[in-house]
Amino acid sequence: MDAQTATKGLCINGRWVPSASGRTMNVISPVTGEQVATVTRGSREDVGNAVNAAHAAQPAFARLTAFERGRLCHRIADLIERRREDLAEYLTLEQGKPYHAEALGEVDTTAVMFRLAAEDITRLESAVIPSNDRAKRIFTIRQPRGVYGVITPWNFPLAIPAEYLSAGLAGGNAIVWVPAPTTAGCAIRMMECLLEAEVPNGVLNLVTGEGAEVGDEVAGHPGIDAIGFTGSSATGLHVSRRAAGKPQLLELGGNSPTIVLGDADVTEAALRVGRGAFRNAGQICDSTERILVDRSIHDNFVAVLLDVAGTFRLGDPRKRDTTLGPLNNERPARQLDHHVEDALQKGARILTGGRHEEGMPTDLYYPATVVDNVGPDMLFNLEETFAPVAPVLSFDEEDQAVAIANSAPSGLVAALFTHDLRKAFRIAEHLQAGIVNINESSAYWQPHTPFGGYSGKTSGTGRLGGRYTLLEMTQIKSLVVDIGE
């Protein structure tokens, strides 16, 4: 599996162009520590050029029928599927996730996103509203928002952009897309698929570069009509402020609590919790990051969870037997070290893992980590860790578990395990999260279901997922007609 250095970067008005500044940036593989791409480093001026191209192209694109835009999305999905292995190979090298266990699956999900949008846009009905005036008829239509700015992260560099790009294109928007710099090569390869599918010139523009420059410019540019962003809560708050007054679709950080009640199937719960904590090296916004276990089953649960952690094989993600790859960059690595140090100082115990693996090509390889005796005041409970760690807390009463679960600022996804249906519904309704999974990992999600944060928390606004993304990325217009008497 060899890397091919990317020499492209900015795609503006359907053409690959250099930055106005002439700058480039290197992309380093977390797998090998070697440079795998040299890409263009965009500037604020480049963003302006992309916005101008999008505004010029959007009106004609909006005039296409929903069925025409749906066929475009199907063509994109066809090309992604045709390049499945190539996309997955490069994804593994640049992002770090295991090729066989995860990367191929992400490519498949990326294609699914475009197919869902292709079908949903042709069924996106709107309402006819009764009138109190016999001479009036009131109905609604959905229209594009215009030029959408889309800023995407590095943990799912194909699937997360596809959530926005598929719905944005299906809905008739033009887009200026800024991907994470550490996975800019993945964005270039995905952009090649969209161009080959004959996305009209200017409708989708790619600007690679540093988020503090090009991402900031997209968020605040007066020519951007709406903004979509997936990333950390801190960066999302900055994006929201820069995009004040614009429609915003923000999917931000999580610190997903999982409550395991005393009547739960301990083995099944531990298996699913482990998968939720360690998949994609824990670098998922809905990763299982806090495990609240009834004290009566604590010891048994932890024993099984340790067995589950032992099944995750850390190593070169290009190898077939690897199920846990490296972290993508230094930031989550430092965050994990900080949280581990905080927990140890406050009385927690590291049962397995807890430090980077020696003898690997980079310092980003961390084994599956289990931390016990975690308290509500520890950073593991209060902040997103974004690493392959399973922190275990104990509780005695149901209300105590709910209070601990709700004590964190985030509110994206929660989960609980129980055989008592009444308890399941009662607790689910009290958990402050946009999604609650029952007898399933917090990291479980189907792409057509609504996904987003809870009001009053820091996990974002709006909903991603199937037609719900389309509803966010289009706007409703009411039409009133006087038919006379």
Arithmetic mean of pLDDT over the chain: 97
Q: For residue 485, what pLDDT band results from cuts at 50, 70 and 90? A: confident
According to DSSP H, which parts of 63-183 are helical? 66-82, 84-95, 104-120, 159-170
Residue % of the chain over a pLDDT of 70: 99
Whether residue 130 sits in one domain with residue 52: yes
Domain range spanning residue 104?
10-252+462-477
Using the predicted structure, report yes or no on whether residue 357 has a pLDDT greater than 70: yes
Using the predicted structure, report yes or no on whether residue 460 has a pLDDT greater than 50: yes
Whether residue 363 sits in one domain with residue 242: no
Say which residue the tokens 């008005």 belong to: 13
Question: Looking at residues 90-95, what average pLDDT do you find?
Answer: 98
* Active-site annotation, residues: 251, 285
Using the predicted structure, report yes or no on whether residue 150 has a pLDDT greater than 80: yes
pLDDT for position 3: 44
| Residue 65 domain-assigned (yes or no) | yes
Annotate 302-342 with DSSP letters as a single string.
HHHHHHHHHTS-BS-TTSTT--B---SSHHHHHHHHHHHHH
Using the predicted structure, report yes or no on whether residue 2 has a pLDDT greater than 50: no
> By mean pLDDT, which of 156-160, 466-470, 481-485 is the weakest?
481-485
Contact call for residues 188 and 7 (beta carbons, < 8 A): no
Q: Are strands 226-230 and 147-151 parallel, antiparallel or unpaired?
A: parallel
Q: Can you give the CATH number for the domain in which 174 is found? A: 3.40.605.10
Q: How far apart are CA 313 and CA 321, in angstroms?
A: 7
The predicted-structure confidence for 223-273, as pLDDT tens digits, reads as follows 999 999 999 999 999 999 999 999 999 999 999 999 999 999 999 999 999
| Residue 482 domain-assigned (yes or no) | no
Contact call for residues 95 and 155 (beta carbons, < 8 A): yes
Whether residue 36 sits in one domain with residue 179: yes
Whether residue 220 sits in one domain with residue 337: no
Which helix or strand (DSSP H or E) is residue 184 part of?
A: helix 184-196
Contact call for residues 265 and 271 (beta carbons, < 8 A): no
| Residue 130 domain-assigned (yes or no) | yes
Whether residue 274 sits in one domain with residue 245: no
| Residue 329 domain-assigned (yes or no) | yes
| Residue 332 domain-assigned (yes or no) | yes
Q: For residue 7, what pLDDT band results from cuts at 50, 70 and 90? A: low
Question: Looking at residues 165-169, what average pLDDT do you find?
Answer: 98
Using the predicted structure, report yes or no on whether residue 4 has a pLDDT greater than 80: no
Question: Looking at residues 12-32, what average pLDDT do you find?
Answer: 96
Question: Looking at residues 356-373, what average pLDDT do you find?
Answer: 97
Question: Looking at residues 197-211, what average pLDDT do you find?
Answer: 98
| Residue 22 domain-assigned (yes or no) | yes
Q: For residue 306, what pLDDT band results from cuts at 50, 70 and 90? A: very high
**Total domain count for the chain?**
2
Question: Looking at residues 405-413, what average pLDDT do you find?
Answer: 98
The predicted-structure confidence for 319-354, as pLDDT tens digits, reads as follows 999 999 999 999 999 999 999 999 999 999 999 999
| Residue 4 domain-assigned (yes or no) | no
Among the listed residues 323, 313, 294, 308, the one whose alpha carbon sits nearest the alpha carbon of residue 404: 294
Q: What is the pTM assigned to this prediction?
A: 0.97
Whether residue 368 sits in one domain with residue 271: yes
Whether residue 260 sits in one domain with residue 241: no
Whether residue 312 sits in one domain with residue 227: no
